[in-house]
A and B are shown apart, each in its own frame.
Chain A
């Protein structure tokens, strides 16, 4: 860094950076996007490989024979479910006990902050049932979990049937070294949250639950099973968990290895593997798969029951049976054998899964992009913010050249006094707006329902959108709090602050949840880099709104639907957008997802600062 210590060379470097600032920024942005798109290109990615020794070379045999009996159990379960009109608690307890498990139940209640219209629930009351298979000669220190949700409708019965079948089969085996917990949870994620909080005796989300009676030590790994038909064509692996957390890559490798061994079609994001990476279609397919993963991860919500385990440092994934119109079908015995194999390998583990990657993206089940490969894409985008900040810093540091008048002599002093105030005021006001956006929608739902003909959910979502839009009017009013006019220096200081703030925010977000950070960076970085008060107001304002976090969410909804091959029309997309907002708020209060508070309390205020600069007077 002798380069920077030498004032002459430093001057040369800074002048180069300020002179070429815009071209460098443009190049960085394009390079960042190109790098990201390149990640899905197969020669640039790594092949997955099993890192964990205990699961790699050891042989296990899969002998689960009782698929048909499991399906019969599933039908019996369905009948009892219909009769009781919900979870057949007594029947399940009796059936699990008959299979030689220690059976316990846990009841829980949870009142949602506002009714969930997607799943039609408000006051949730349910029971989780779990049976523990005690490993012989093991001291109850380690456990594995196999869970199946009990859905209110007629789906997922086969999963429960197979779970009971596996319980019976596992009970008669002697090789278990870890206890196995068979869990049937009601009300999917809410029940799972209640069970996990009960198991770890924590209360993060204000759930009411009865304490658990039986435990089996620290849980090493968990699989969640979703199966709604007697035969399936493929198994889908779901990895994305709460706040974009992912299980160790070895769990995905294990699943893939057994699918290969047993000969089951396996997919990720519902997309089959393709062999032709060198054709345009093959590449597009990989990009679609990876983009789906990025969008799902960015949403920060658990995409299966496994998602909540990850907070407790338990490696977990969901296995979902898919029945499409393909010819080749797989029966329940084969799925049972696959799960048996996976559990036997997990049973062999000496340590927790830790050898492989925790941060990765998967363009297919056989290839992955590790953190070292995808971070540069984000780094290139973040560099733009730093370059613009440097440019502004240099401009601010040389005021004499800009104003050669006598007034220039006095200015630096007045900037310091007024500058702090003129920067602080918009910062505080936009953050207050953020706090309003975070708190008011849920708080004011009753008032809104009284005065407008809308349901509670609509009230919450529309309040959120209203506050979001109202924030746009702020710049016209902030100047009232500032004495005097905003100066040329003033907006530069504000923009410098906003740029650095955004860089820190996005950097931290990308470290925890790369996808979220990257998606936000794609839209926010150009807005932050370009905005000045001297641009044509109307046009720039439109561009700024289009690049705001709310609109980013809207695009994501459309892109997601497009990638899932279920494109939607504009009004449908809008309705979906509204439900996504309500889901986001619910995820935050039910499971502690951090995306909504991040957007409302930090990203949105930061964008408001940029909006302020545009309307600087």
Chain B
């Protein structure tokens, strides 16, 4: 059929710089291709003076292998490696994120796609799967290979099945959490080796379109870096007559204006990515750059200016965006390249996001401790419920009877608690709670724990670094500041449509707390020989002989009788005569 070779062909053509003409010339002649892809970059100047760049790439794959049960061997835009994984392991939804750094909600507001530090993976399996744990195990190993990450460290000791916090984001209303697996690796370090395989999944690779901006030396010279892959079944069209697979690849970066700007508050695409944009990805049906200009002109100047404005409601807030359509030739202007420049004017201070959370370990010493989770509701008059998910490794033994939830110094009884106790070396603690947050309050969840003494082979190679406890996850429907627009849904930017929203007056937010680093009682591994020798000596010589001395009674022993006398006595006993 030949279409499978199209991407390669396109790239060759692009190099001959014939793409533009060819594309216009052939449009309409070819039948409508089954798959489609879109790309988008959102740039949002943050209140703290940092700059937030969020890439989203969406690939739609019009196939439905799960229902028909047939093998799919044909791939066009959708990466084959992921497609095979989906069909082999009967995956219904797959969400994986790699994050380096912690999203600072207090300064940056809510992220478009939230993710915890380290790696996070959650998967809904199809409900025909018999051996979910087996599939999960294999899947993590395969993904580990695909993304060059240590996902193979996911095992039963860090996998949980949340009952309420992670609902499917795509089609279908699965509620049986037996088919859900959730795991985080808070220690995972994300670097270029994870970025390269991620880029390879893009239809244009990093050769054309927005992906040319992804230079790793710039992306990792930032305050926050997060890349993610989300796969879910979605409706193919407006009426939802048939379904398709959606692959969303997101990459979120926050650049620090302070450290790399050398005090000058000016920013441009070139400064951020050391590249400018020259073309769209030829395979993409839409390729746009959005710049959040809601705070313009108080905060910054934007050039080149554009007349195309788009208003969308994102995370409960109506925002205005300048839109640059890369498929239009005019966007690139005279120089045939697009280099957005932002010049800061104002100063700004901390935000008060409606919902944010923090977590820390209280107490000192290596025996016990207390985990405190603080959840802030900054809404002036609305109370709302949040779902709190905590997954704590088994070596912190939670004293669940010490669990307290307090808001405004009063006890706040959770309306739903799901607790699964840990099993040593087998599974972690899982604690899920539905807590109502009173308006303008801080809710504090505390639980005490005891630190277990591990077996000596169970310590990591750097035991004195401490052990990580993954972020807690807070999922909430936060009351919206503005009412949601219901019309015009089709033309909303990608970043505004990630979480399905049902209610108009509120929006879904997921907040991750910081992971914890907890020190466990650690033996001194540098001198096992000394310890063994000392212990053996003390036990053998000291303790043994003192115990012997203290418990034994001493008496003077009669010298043993000579043999002749004993023999004589035997004979005398037989004779019945008194002994000698």
CA distance A136 to B224 in the complex (A): 7
Q: What does the 1/0 interface line of A416-456 toward B look like (CB < 8 Å)?
A: 00000000000000000000000000000000000000000
CA distance A450 to B503 in the complex (A): 72
Chain A residues in 8 Å Cβ range of B325: none
Contact of A352 among B100, B360, B464, B526 (CB under 8 A): B464
Instruction: State whether the Cβ of A274 lies closer than 8 Å to any Cβ in chain B.
Output: no
B247, chain A: closest CB distance, angstroms? 26
**Which chain A residue lies CB-closest to B370?**
A201
Complex contact B364–A5 (CB within 8 A): no
Contact of B349 among A4, A97, A174, A355 (CB under 8 A): A97
Complex contact A200–B259 (CB within 8 A): no
CA distance A215 to B554 in the complex (A): 66
Contact of B549 among A1, A139, A171, A217 (CB under 8 A): A1
A256, chain B: closest CB distance, angstroms? 22
Instruction: State whether the Cβ of B101 lies closer than 8 Å to any Cβ in chain A.
Output: yes
Q: What does the 1/0 interface line of B363-378 toward A look like (CB < 8 Å)?
A: 1111000101000000
Instruction: State whether the Cβ of B144 lies closer than 8 Å to any Cβ in chain A.
Output: no
Instruction: State whether the Cβ of A350 lies closer than 8 Å to any Cβ in chain B.
Output: yes
CA distance A355 to B526 in the complex (A): 8
Contact of B117 among A134, A139, A171, A311 (CB under 8 A): A139
Instruction: State whether the Cβ of A7 lies closer than 8 Å to any Cβ in chain B.
Output: yes
Q: A141-B515, A173-B259 are in contact. Are A312 and B101 (CB under 8 A)?
A: no
Contact of B519 among A7, A102, A200, A313 (CB under 8 A): A313
Complex contact A137–B259 (CB within 8 A): no
CA distance A7 to B552 in the complex (A): 12
Contact of A136 among B223, B515, B546, B554 (CB under 8 A): B223
Chain B residues in 8 Å Cβ range of A134: 104, 223
B324, chain A: closest CB distance, angstroms? 28
Chain B residues in 8 Å Cβ range of A1: 541, 545-546, 548-549
Instruction: State whether the Cβ of B132 lies closer than 8 Å to any Cβ in chain A.
Output: no
B519, chain A: closest CB distance, angstroms? 7
CA distance A215 to B101 in the complex (A): 15
Instruction: State whether the Cβ of A324 lies closer than 8 Å to any Cβ in chain B.
Output: no
Q: What does the 1/0 interface line of A294-312 toward B look like (CB < 8 Å)?
A: 0000000000000000011
Complex contact B541–A172 (CB within 8 A): no
Q: What does the 1/0 interface line of B108-127 toward A look like (CB < 8 Å)?
A: 00000000011000000000
Contact of A218 among B517, B548, B549 (CB under 8 A): B517
Instruction: State whether the Cβ of A110 lies closer than 8 Å to any Cβ in chain B.
Output: no
Contact of A4 among B225, B514, B518, B549 (CB under 8 A): B549
Contact of B220 among A7, A137, A139, A140 (CB under 8 A): A137
Q: A200-B363, A201-B362 are in contact. Are A139 and B349 (CB under 8 A)?
A: no
Complex contact A354–B221 (CB within 8 A): no
Using a CB-CB cutoff of 8 Å, which residues 342-399 of chain B contact chain A? 349-350, 358, 360-366, 370, 372
Chain A residues in 8 Å Cβ range of B466: 141, 218, 352
Instruction: State whether the Cβ of B256 lies closer than 8 Å to any Cβ in chain A.
Output: yes
If over half of A's interface residues share one DSSP class (helix, strand or loop), that class is named, otherwise mixed; here it is: loop
**Which chain A residue lies CB-closest to B524?**
A354
Complex contact A141–B464 (CB within 8 A): no
A557, chain B: closest CB distance, angstroms? 32
Chain A residues in 8 Å Cβ range of B336: none
Complex contact A7–B362 (CB within 8 A): no
Chain B residues in 8 Å Cβ range of A97: 349
Complex contact B102–A140 (CB within 8 A): yes
Complex contact B545–A174 (CB within 8 A): no
Instruction: State whether the Cβ of A282 lies closer than 8 Å to any Cβ in chain B.
Output: no
CA distance A293 to B554 in the complex (A): 50
Complex contact B464–A354 (CB within 8 A): yes
Q: A138-B102, A141-B515, A352-B465 are in contact. Are A4 and B545 (CB under 8 A)?
A: yes
- Most chain A beta-carbon contacts within 10 A, residue among B101, B364, B548: B364
Q: A137-B220, A139-B186 are in contact. Are A171 and B259 (CB under 8 A)?
A: yes
Complex contact A351–B360 (CB within 8 A): no
Q: What does the 1/0 interface line of A453-487 toward B look like (CB < 8 Å)?
A: 00000000000000000000000000000000000
Complex contact B360–A137 (CB within 8 A): no
Instruction: State whether the Cβ of A100 lies closer than 8 Å to any Cβ in chain B.
Output: yes
Instruction: State whether the Cβ of B468 lies closer than 8 Å to any Cβ in chain A.
Output: yes
CA distance A313 to B517 in the complex (A): 14
Chain B residues in 8 Å Cβ range of A218: 361, 466, 517-519
Chain B residues in 8 Å Cβ range of A141: 466, 468, 514-517
**Which chain B residue lies CB-closest to A1?**
B545
Complex contact A350–B462 (CB within 8 A): yes
**Which chain B residue lies CB-closest to A137?**
B101
Contact of A202 among B363, B515, B549 (CB under 8 A): B363
B139, chain A: closest CB distance, angstroms? 25
CA distance A350 to B461 in the complex (A): 11
Chain A residues in 8 Å Cβ range of B364: 200, 202, 311-313
Chain A residues in 8 Å Cβ range of B104: 134
- Most chain A beta-carbon contacts within 10 A, residue among B118, B222, B516, B517: B517
Complex contact A5–B548 (CB within 8 A): yes
Complex contact A351–B102 (CB within 8 A): no
A375, chain B: closest CB distance, angstroms? 13
Instruction: State whether the Cβ of B65 lies closer than 8 Å to any Cβ in chain A.
Output: no
Instruction: State whether the Cβ of B258 lies closer than 8 Å to any Cβ in chain A.
Output: yes
**Which chain B residue lies CB-closest to A218?**
B517
- Most chain B beta-carbon contacts within 10 A, residue among A140, A202, A354: A140
CA distance A4 to B260 in the complex (A): 77
Instruction: State whether the Cβ of A142 lies closer than 8 Å to any Cβ in chain B.
Output: yes
Q: What does the 1/0 interface line of B407-447 toward A look like (CB < 8 Å)?
A: 00000000000000000000000000000000000000000
CA distance A311 to B364 in the complex (A): 8
B82, chain A: closest CB distance, angstroms? 26
Q: What does the 1/0 interface line of A350-375 toward B look like (CB < 8 Å)?
A: 11101100000000000000000000
CA distance A202 to B448 in the complex (A): 13
Complex contact B362–A136 (CB within 8 A): no
CA distance A5 to B468 in the complex (A): 54
Q: A172-B259, A201-B363, A350-B465 are in contact. Are A137 and B100 (CB under 8 A)?
A: yes
CA distance A174 to B221 in the complex (A): 8
Q: What does the 1/0 interface line of A164-203 toward B look like (CB < 8 Å)?
A: 0000000111100000000000000000000000001110
CA distance A360 to B362 in the complex (A): 30
Using a CB-CB cutoff of 8 Å, which residues 544-562 of chain B contact chain A? 545-546, 548-549, 552, 554, 556
Complex contact A202–B464 (CB within 8 A): no
- In addition to A136-B224, A200-B364, A313-B519, 10 A-B residue pairs with Cβ atoms within 8 Å of each other are A1-B548, A102-B107, A137-B100, A138-B101, A139-B514, A141-B516, A174-B260, A217-B517, A354-B464, A354-B524
Residues of A that sit less than 8 Å from B by CB: 1, 4-5, 7, 97, 100, 102, 134, 136-142, 171-174, 200-202, 215, 217-218, 311-313, 350-352, 354-355
The 8 closest A-B pairs by CB, nearest first: A1-B545, A139-B117, A201-B362, A351-B464, A137-B101, A141-B517, A140-B514, A137-B100
